[in-house]
Amino acid sequence: MIDVATLLFLLFATPVACSLPIAFAWVYRPGADWARKLPILSVFGLFVSLCIAIYILLYFPDGVFEYPWLPDYNINFVFVFDYLSKYMGALTAFIAFLIGVYGLEYMKHDYRLGWYWFFFNMFTASMLLVVYSDNLLMLLIGWEGLGLASWGLIGHWFRDDDELAYVGVIGRKVGPLKMFWSPSFGGWRAISTIRFGDMPMFFAIAAIYALTGTLNISEIDWGHLFHHIGLVGTLILMIAFLMGPFTKSAQLPFSEWLMTAMTGPTTVSALLHSATMVAAGTYLFMRLSLYIEPWKLHHTPGVEQLYFFVLFLGLISALYGASVALGCRERKVLLAASTMSSLGLMFACAAASFWLGKIAIYVAFWYLITHAFAKATLFLVAGHLIHATHDRFCCGNLELAKKMKVAFLATIFATLCLSGIPPFTAYWVKSAMDYVMHHLMHEVGGAPLYLLIAVSVIYSAFLAKFLSLNFIKGDKPKHLHLHGEILMPLAYAVMVSMLALLLYAILTGREVEELVRNGLEMFVEKGFEKTSLAVGLAVLISYAITLAIPKLESPIGRFLGDRMYMPALNDYIVPKIGWAIAKAVDWCNKVIDVFCHQAIPELISTYSLGVRAIQSGSLRRYVKIALGFVMVALIFASLVGW
């Protein structure tokens, strides 16, 4: 029987260890035929992690496992096994494995396989460390691993020599603003934006340790901590901490890196947008809220203001992402904007836990699971379409649908399941979300519910647009090269089948007993309420209309497709401000340099020469100087009337 410590070590280390052979082989023999066969080892490492994650899900009891590291400082390896971590770990490992299988075929001719597979497996291992870590320092290690791997993968095609790897129309400008981005720039933007959020998060973790003496999320007395530091302290500490999740999950105004991250391989986009990286931010907020228990801290200063802020930040980000997706024509950028929208809904729903309790967190988590399988499916289909048509913009008609039947059917089912159309998977989860937002009307007004309904209607529209422009009413592809791919359609066929399994679990009550024990009524019961049925009907109408009229050819459509010119914030406004600050600092440095290195030394030098001139050694001269001072003093005294 393998002990827990060994099992956890294998969970995190096996993917990375199995990727090392191809990484080293590519250093010494890049492109060799035998080296191109080694990615199977990387996928095997992902399979081992999947087996361990499933074992943890099925057989590990809930609780905390601790392994000593720095016991004198109360810093140890601490792993938590609860409802969230068990299912999230299995979800991450399963999706990573399927995308790895897909990648064996999708990336087989790539010129940088060693780099790709090392960072892909490191990405997965880092996410698993984030998922199971109860200790904030360990979590931060996995968090930084995600950031480093994302940089390596988003900028994977660093040569910038393939138009298919760009985002935007190459050469297009709007005023002074470039509206196209290369892979190398996409990688740089991702790491710089994420770094901007990670720094305050790092200092917040240090402050938590200094104030509480522990870094274990489940051990911290959050209520006592918030009372101790007061309203202002609570808001500063927690917003600084949440800057990490906000930037990772691309909430406003940090959304642009997620769009330009589409310069990376589609396998990276699928993993990044489904179960890792961006999901890490929302997952961490759910985990944190589960242990903070904000529903018990209504009289604690700062907590209500914090959750109110997260609620509306999430809803506004969701509305922005959905609106942008409605105007996008690039396959992956459309899906990226939709991911931002979904993440905003997860944040908002989890934030509602302050008023409703655990049920809001569990609803948000089930939406995360549903979104992960659907979005991974759509990204893998998009990758296959790009691979076949050599075009990253939406194009395709019924003729293409007949030739790519599996992709067509997978897209239909994934969009139906994710849009919230009854009776498909997301409908039941979003019905519970409607229930959550409806109950906030007594606390914060009707804005959350109205925003959720608006997002839901727009969300179904852009999903129908993706389906229609790629398989029904899109332009005929200029190129179509199908090479008898087997692993790629197999991967997204299995992925989309998970949505059917989730639907079965919801309708039969399987795997929701934990939710019932925590006060959540059955999803099905909420799905049959009049409000939910009305929203579902509106979503269905929106889906049907957009399916028939998928193109938004208007100034509004172009405005939305240009992401409301939010790129100007990252590419023009912030750089201009940064350069202005740099010039101001440079001017101050020059002033200080002149003052300290020229003016003061020259003054001292002049003073010294004057003093030395006086000190001649002549007594007569000293007497004259003394008499001169006396005469000046007498004249001054006579003038003032002394």
Q: What is the DSSP string of 257-290?
A: HHHHGGGS-HHHHHHHHHTSTHHHHHHHHHHHHH
21: number of Cβ within 10 Å: 17
pLDDT mean over 323-332: 93
Which residues does residue 133 pair with via DSSP β-bridges, in sequence order?
79
Residues 482 and 629 in one domain: no
Taking the model in full, what pTM does it have?
Answer: 0.90
Q: Is 285 within a domain?
A: yes
Residues 551 and 600 in one domain: no
Helices (H), 420-486: 425-439, 441-444, 447-471
Nearest to 66 by CA among 137, 140, 131, 134: 134
Structural domain containing residue 449 = 4-565
pLDDT at 611: 67
Give helix then strand counts, H and E, for the chain. 28, 4
pLDDT band at 613 (very low <50, low <70, confident <90, very high): low
Cα distance between residue 474 and residue 398, in whole Å? 9
Residues 314 and 393 in one domain: yes
Q: Is 59 within a domain?
A: yes
Q: Is 571 within a domain?
A: no
pLDDT at 511: 52
Contact in structure between 64 and 80 (CB atoms under 8 Å): yes
Residues 457 and 603 in one domain: no
Cα distance between residue 374 and residue 369, in whole Å? 9
pLDDT mean over 583-605: 82
pLDDT mean over 466-473: 94
Of 507, 542, 565, the last residue of a domain is 565
Total residues belonging to the chain:
642
Nearest to 106 by CA among 493, 490, 499: 490
Q: Is 572 within a domain?
A: no
Nearest to 80 by CA among 217, 204, 208: 217
Is residue 276 over pLDDT 90?
Answer: no
pLDDT at 626: 78
445: number of Cβ within 10 Å: 10
pLDDT mean over 601-625: 72
CA distances from 479 to 378, 384, 395 (A): 21, 13, 10
Residues 367 and 465 in one domain: yes
Cα distance between residue 289 and residue 245, in whole Å? 13
Q: Structure tokens of 399?
A: 């003729």
The identity of residue 549, as a single letter, is I
pLDDT at 506: 82
pLDDT mean over 60-89: 89
Coil, helix or strand at residue 150: helix
**Exposure letters 482-511 (e unless 16+ CB within 10 A, then b):** eeebeebbebbbbbbebbeebbebbeeeee
pLDDT at 522: 63
pLDDT mean over 398-402: 93
Residues 198 and 90 in one domain: yes
Q: Structure tokens of 148?
A: 């480093």
How many angstroms separate the first and last alpha carbons of the chain? Answer: 104
pLDDT mean over 408-425: 94
- Please provide residue 511's backbone torsions phi and psi, each rounded to the nearest 5 degrees: 65, 10
Residues 488 and 533 in one domain: yes
Cα distance between residue 583 and residue 570, in whole Å? 19
Residues 521 and 607 in one domain: no
pLDDT at 597: 75
Interior CA angle at 152 toward 495 and 329, to 5°? 55
Coil, helix or strand at residue 528: coil
| Domain tally, the chain | 2
Residues 6+ apart with CB under 8 A from 538: 453, 456, 457
Q: Is 570 within a domain?
A: no
Average pLDDT over the chain reads: 90
Q: Is 480 within a domain?
A: yes
pLDDT at 221: 93
pLDDT mean over 110-124: 93
Cα distance between residue 642 and residue 400, in whole Å? 108
Q: Is 573 within a domain?
A: no
Query: Which range has the worst mean pLDDT, 132-136, 271-275, 326-330?
Result: 271-275
Cα distance between residue 614 and residue 532, in whole Å? 97
- Give the burial class of 597: count Cβ atoms within 10 A of its Cβ; 0-12 exposed, 13-18 middle, 19 or more buried: exposed
Cα distance between residue 394 and residue 392, in whole Å? 7
Nearest to 64 by CA among 218, 284, 221, 292: 218
Q: Which stretch of DSSP H or E encloses residue 354? A: helix 353-356
User: Helix %, strand %, coil % for the chain, to 5?
Assistant: 75, 5, 20
Cα distance between residue 348 and residue 357, in whole Å? 13
Q: Is 585 within a domain?
A: yes
pLDDT mean over 257-275: 90
Residues 588 and 543 in one domain: no
Of 565, 586, 609, the last residue of a domain is 565
Contact in structure between 322 and 338 (CB atoms under 8 Å): yes
Residues 204 and 55 in one domain: yes
Contact in structure between 380 and 102 (CB atoms under 8 Å): yes
pLDDT at 177: 86
Is residue 73 over pLDDT 70?
Answer: yes
pLDDT band at 410 (very low <50, low <70, confident <90, very high): very high
pLDDT at 524: 81
Of 507, 541, 565, the last residue of a domain is 565
Coil, helix or strand at residue 201: helix
Is residue 520 over pLDDT 50?
Answer: no
CA distances from 368 to 91, 141, 160 (A): 10, 23, 33
Is residue 171 over pLDDT 70?
Answer: yes
pLDDT at 518: 45
pLDDT at 1: 53
pLDDT band at 95 (very low <50, low <70, confident <90, very high): very high
Is residue 348 over pLDDT 60?
Answer: yes
Cα distance between residue 113 and residue 126, in whole Å? 20
> How many alpha carbons fall within 13 Å on the CB side of residue 248?
34
pLDDT more than 90, % of the chain? 65
Residues 412 and 495 in one domain: yes
Residues 205 and 328 in one domain: yes
Q: Structure tokens of 373?
A: 């399988």
Contact in structure between 181 and 162 (CB atoms under 8 Å): no
Give the pLDDT confidence of 434-458 residue by residue, as tens digits: 999 998 988 899 999 999 999 999 9
Is residue 244 over pLDDT 90?
Answer: yes
Is residue 519 over pLDDT 50?
Answer: no
